[in-house]
Amino acid sequence: MPIAPNFTSKLSKDWEINFLQCYPNGYLKYTDLCNMLQLTAASHAELGGISFSDMQVHHQAWVLSRMRVEISRLPRWKDTVTVKTWINSLENSRSIRCLEMYVGEEKIIGCETFWAVFNTKTRRPENLALPHEHFEKFPDRATKQTFGKIDFQHEMQTVGSHSVKLSDLDIVNHANSVKYLEWCLDTVDAALIQNQKIVSIEMNYLKEVSLNDMVTIQQKTIEDTVTFAVAREDKTCFAMQLLRR
């Protein structure tokens, strides 16, 4: 698609929180939060002519490599939130995109995402084939801390397993990035989620998993930090770290 007439290098998009997106306590699910952030990023890419449809002409797609979310509080059912997004950097096959969520004038969530251009035929990274100079890049950051190293090399406890199902897959034909978060959060004490104890979530996507793959979910807790790894055949495909209050 051509660049939209209303394209701007910074996008603000409003969302109303509906009951399907909420936990029993009425607050937005962490998984739906991440979906909403990614949908906002997708809307901006579409307006700027670098959407999935645009990239598929060259057999390319954006895939999420890393994501850091810092949470002051979660929005509630019926809240209208504003998500703001911009590109911090975009060079060759990699891009950092920033996102912030507001309720009124209050910033409640900051997020930074690291994306890679992925050839959907070869399943390998490659340089973006589309022009992007019309996107102004901004040095502003959305989170207090940048991406960190998630240490998943120490001994961890297996807390669950999952066989990848059709409902886990996205349009790129691999498990959607939010599904890994869902699998991990389903293994924790519900009180951690219901009482909004999560301060930050950092995720690192290492290898894709596909239909019928069997994965194990591993966990290690040290003080206020909970580390997860999702592994297939003893190879870590995903790592996540939660910081809790």
Mean pLDDT for all residues in the chain: 96
- pTM, two decimal places: 0.95
Per-residue model confidence as pLDDT tens digits over 108-144: 999 999 999 999 999 999 999 999 999 999 999 999 9
The full set of domain ranges for the chain reads: 1-147, 148-245
What's the CATH fold of domain 1-147? Thiol Ester Dehydrase; Chain A (3.10.129)
Q: In the structure, what pLDDT confidence band is assigned to residue 151 with cuts at 50, 70 and 90?
A: confident
Per-residue model confidence as pLDDT tens digits over 10-30: 999 999 999 999 999 999 999
Gyration radius of the chain over CA positions:
18
Pick the CATH number of 148-245 from 3.30.450.40, 3.10.129.10, 3.40.120.10, 3.40.630.10: 3.10.129.10
